[in-house]
Structure 1
Amino acid sequence: MNMNYTAEELAFRDEVRAFLDEKLPADIAAKVKSFRPLTKADHQRWQKILSAQGWYATHWPEEYGGVKWSPVQKHIWDEESSRYGVPRSVPFGVNMVAPVIIKFGNEEQKQTYLPRILSGEDWWCQGYSEPGAGSDLASLKTRAVREGDHYIVNGQKTWTTLGQHANMIFCLVRTNTEVKAQEGISFLLIDMNTPGISVRPIITLDGEHEVNEVFFEDVKVPVENLVGEEDKGWTYAKYLLTYERTGLAGIGLSKAALSHLKQLASRRIKNGRPLIEDPTFSQRIAKIEIDLTAAAISNLRIIASVEGGGVPGAESSMLKVRGTEIRQAINDLARRAIGPYALPFVEEELADGFDGDYLLDELAAPLSANYFNNRKLSIFGGSNEIQKNIVSKMILGL
């Protein structure tokens, strides 16, 4: 494939840059660039700006409010938005459940939920993992028993990201225990305000409340909230995960993080010289940059291969593995670069406007929390070990 942008693609990049220069709120960009947590209000404010531009649902069909971007345009958007400090869209509505509804849902579900996702009226979370069913998702235990025109749901989900903000959750539930595990799962859309649902916070290593446990006790869910066919949810879940895993590659995020690392290494003085001039350290940066360039080319090649429609198959697993490894390597090298400044959880140094050492205040303070938070990258969305098995079977034929 041609790795150079066409004149039209360069013009699109200029359009993206002009839009971000004018519309991206400076306070939100500053938080993103310094790895500080965003509030629900921050996400909602940026979503309104994107929706007004018509750029929120970049992979939806146009008839449902999407925008017709080529894979290369999507790649340009990813790179430029990461460079500018654009918040990543909360994926559970626009990037995860919406494609499932578009492909497998009925017309009533499309007309009901898709406009509410675009407007931000609904905030979705994901009900996949359970205490005993993470990477081995087919072993999930949450039950849904049909009684008349409702399902009665009982069970527990865990690691439910931003579930404290959500009013909707899409869930994998077991509707049949008499068949092979993968064949007895259904895909339900559940209102989080339904009686019997409770949410309990999980505080992560970085000190943040990002994930939760969600409990279901005799929760009544209308039958019309079933997506597709009963007991066919495993098929829909795998389709959704190809979107999640491709997004987890985070090529644009890694490029922005690498740039941040170089800034930090240029300002961190060791033995009287900038750390970036240290031969060993600069060699480590060079290796990451080479790996990232190769991953970016692979990403472009894969997205170009599906330009006619659809999503990547097992290639999404390959991107997920390599992309998350690179992101974690950058996090680790940044942590090493700041040395003693990497001490985590010093609250006043993480606060906005702290007037302390420039390394702590501008570049270093949030890096420890970011390092701890991103240890999960190689686990969620299907652990990297599972993804390597998929690659070996589906691509290498082993």
Structure 2
Amino acid sequence: MDLDFTAVEEAFRAEVRAFLATQLPAALRTRVAEGRTLTKAEMVQWHAILQSRGWLASHWPREHGGPGWTAVERFVFEYECALADAPRTLPFGLIMLGPVLIRYGTPAQKAHWLPRILDGSDWWCQGYSEPGAGSDLAALRTRAVRTTDVRGEHYLVNGQKTWTTLAQHADMIFCLVRTSMEARPQRGISFLLIDMKSPGVEVRPIVTLDGEHEVNEVFFTDVRVPLENLVGEENEGWTCAKYLLTHERNAGIGFCVAALQRLKTVAARVQRQGRPLDQDPLFAARMARVEIALENLKTTSLRVTATVAAGGSPGVQSSALKVLGSEIRQELSSLIRRAVGPRAQAQLADALALDGSPPEAATAAAQYLNNRKLSIFGGSNEVQRGIIAKTMLGL
């Protein structure tokens, strides 16, 4: 089932496809299609290409440098980029912080930080999770104490963040910090912007199961932060945090469809007992189940997108989309790994190019392992199910 759009939306879809066909460098397309990790230089390259067209900050209004797209146009753009194997735009500055600044930032903060996100002057990372505060984010313990010295009034930050994606490349980090111990947990949290080059900031790598250095621990020891780097009101950062998470959670429809296409290609190519794997009844049944689930997810996602386009809010449905999308992507990566079979070993990646294995073999295990995180980040699926049960079912 293809997506059903109006004539105007189909014209926009054709424009996006033409842009991707002519402007997406073949080398980037190949690396994404093969599931390989992009360097910072490659990510910068793609961001610059999008910005030259005015399409980089897809969630921003025109007055702040974005394209001013509707919810449907954003959906179409992200969907077509995923199908074309375009690099994913890094969300931290563009999709997370940008909308928070636009809604809660001061005029001076918007004027300073938003252009620097667009032109690549600042690369951001997200300082939310801590060793004892992941899904229970309100339990965070990183402290920011307002103090005064000869240079004036400022915050001193001490604490630790973990699972900080791409902190090794970041110039800045937006952080949730505790500024009061007297109020209830959510009321004592503030939203700070911290320069990663500040004295007292230390980044330590975490090598994940797929062998990649994608995430980090970040330590703060007496890190000085100017008062003007507070976004919103002191002790009211939880409001910013919740708003940001509505932009972080999505179903990843395009990524699911692209993964399904790769699965079908592999299953048609790989031979088991003298016939293509997609003709094996048990494997074909699993493929059919995940494809049906994906079609249902498409329909639900488009329904939510239509609600947003009409001025509504996705509400608790964003939690449902996040749960279903993450489970489908995990199942697809699991099936690709199963289809490749014993060749799906990351350490054999170089040798696999020589023995006629499908190109997906080199990264099948790594992608499977990396995708285990999908049901955890952005609010774990267990927490999302609790939100659904409480909000929709009244439990």
1:106-185 to structure 2, matched below 5 A, reads 106-148=106-148, 149-185=153-189
Q: Is structure 2 residue 165 aligned with structure 1 residue 189?
A: no
Residue by residue over 1:10-69, the C-alpha shift from the partner in whole angstroms, topping out at 9 and shown as x without a partner, is 111111111111100000010111100000001100000000001111111110011122
8 Å contact from structure 2 (residues 191, 240) kept in 1: yes
Match of 1:73, SS state, is helix
> 4+ residue stretches of structure 1 with deviation over 4 A?
308-311
Matches within 5 A, 1:205-216: 205-216=209-220
1:85 aligns with 2:85: yes
Contact 1:243 1:311 in 2 (8 A): no
Q: Is this contact kept in 2: 1:242–1:311, CA < 8 A? A: no
The SS at the match of 1:36 is coil
Q: Is the 8 A contact 2:202 2:219 kept in 1?
A: yes
**In 2, Cα distance between equivalents of 1:343 and 1:369:** 8
Letter in 1 for 2:355: D
Q: Which runs of structure 2 are paired with 1:17-56 in the superposition (5 Å)?
A: 17-56=17-56
CA deviation map 1:161-188 (0-9, x unaligned):
0000000000000000011111100000
- One-letter code aligned to 2:6: T
**2-structure distance, mates of 1:132, 1:394:** 26
Deviates more, 1:302-311 or 1:77-86: 302-311
- Written as runs of structure 1 = structure 2, the 5 A alignment for 1:228-307 is 228-246=232-250, 249-307=251-309
**Which letter maps to 1:65?**
G
What SS class does the counterpart of residue 368 from structure 1 fall into?
helix
The CA distance in 2 between the partners of 1:290 and 1:320, in whole Å, is 17
Aligned to 1:58: 58
Residue 318 of structure 1 is aligned with which of 317, 320, 337?
A: 320
- 2:4 maps to a residue whose letter is N
Residue 357 of structure 1 corresponds to 355
**What residue in structure 1 maps to residue 380 of structure 2?**
383
- Please state if 1:15 is matched with 2:15: yes
Kept in 2, the 8 Å contact 1:206–1:345? The answer is no
- The answer on whether the counterparts of 1:345 and 1:369 sit within 8 Å (CA) in structure 2 is no
TM-score, normalising length from structure 2?
0.96
Letter in 2 for 1:39: T
Alpha-carbon contact 1:183-1:234 (below 8 Å) kept:
yes
Letter in 2 for 1:245: R
Query: Identity of paired residues, percent?
Result: 58
Q: Give the deviation of 1:311 after TM superposition.
A: 5.1
After TM superposition, the structure 1 stretch with the greater mean CA deviation from structure 2, 335-344 or 307-316, is 307-316
Deviation by residue 1:240-290 (Cα, 9 ceiling, x = unmatched)? 0111012xx111001000000000000100010000011111111111000
**Contact 2:349-2:363 at 8 Å conserved across structures:** no
CA offsets per residue over residues 333-354 of structure 1, 9 Å max, x none? 11111111122322524xxxx7
Give the conservation status (yes or no) of the 8 Å contact 2:59–2:68.
Answer: yes
| Letter of the structure 2 residue corresponding to residue 278 of structure 1 | D
Whole-angstrom distance in 2 between the partners of 1:309 and 1:265: 42
- CA offset at residue 365 of structure 1? 1.0
Give the residue type in structure 1 aligned to 2:211. G
Q: Gaps (5+ residues) in structure 1? A: none
Q: Residue 171 and residue 385 in structure 1: after superposition, are their counterparts in 2 closer, same or farther (change >3 A)?
A: same
Q: How far did 1:376 drift?
A: 0.7
Question: How far apart, CA to CA, are the structure 2 residues paired with 1:174 and 1:126?
Answer: 16
Q: How many residues are paired up? A: 389
Structure 2 residue matching 1:89: 3-state secondary structure: coil
Residue of structure 2 in register with 1:338 after alignment: 340
AA partner of residue 295 (structure 1): L
Query: Aligned partners of 1:184 and 1:308: how far apart in 2?
Result: 35
SS of aligned partner of 2:168: coil
TM-score normalised by length of structure 1: 0.96
Q: Corresponding residue for 2:391?
A: 394
Q: Distance in 2 between matches of 1:339 and 1:38?
A: 25
- Specify every segment of 5 or more residues in structure 2 that has no aligned partner in the other structure, as ranges: none
